């Protein structure tokens, strides 16, 4: 769920940034306003990108670890053994 929300933030942030730059290019909004809006939305898109990448990395790591445990015949640690 976190990954999906991060992808939505990524698309909306970067998409809004490009729309703001495009509107400034068409002289529909001033360049100063477009810069502030693009910076804000670009930061939202960047945060979404990093959170989505971290979520994907964590998911791949957990699945790879579970696969290695199955292949090597290891049993998952019980709740009392986990530190």
Question: How does DSSP assign 24-42, residue by residue?
Answer: HHTTSS-HHHHHHHHHHHH
pLDDT tens track for 24-72: 999 999 999 999 999 999 999 999 999 988 888 777 777 777 787 888 8
Q: Which residue has the higher pLDDT, 17 or 61?
A: 17
Alpha carbon distance 56, 62 (integer Å): 10
pLDDT of amino acid 77: 65
Burial of 17 (0-12, 13-18, 19+ CB in 10 A): buried
Q: Locate 20 and state its tokens.
A: 């703001």
pTM listed for this prediction: 0.67
Alpha carbon distance 2, 20 (integer Å): 27
């Amino acid at each position: 769920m976190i990954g999906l929300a991060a992808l939505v933030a990524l698309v909306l942030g970067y998409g809004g940034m490009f729309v703001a730059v495009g509107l400034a290019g068409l002289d529909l909004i001033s360049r100063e306003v477009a810069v502030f809006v693009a910076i804000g939305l670009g930061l939202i898109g960047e945060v979404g990108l990093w959170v989505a990448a971290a979520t994907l990395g964590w998911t791949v790591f957990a699945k790879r670890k579970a696969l290695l445990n199955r292949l090597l015949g290891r049993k998952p640690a019980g709740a009392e053994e986990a530190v």
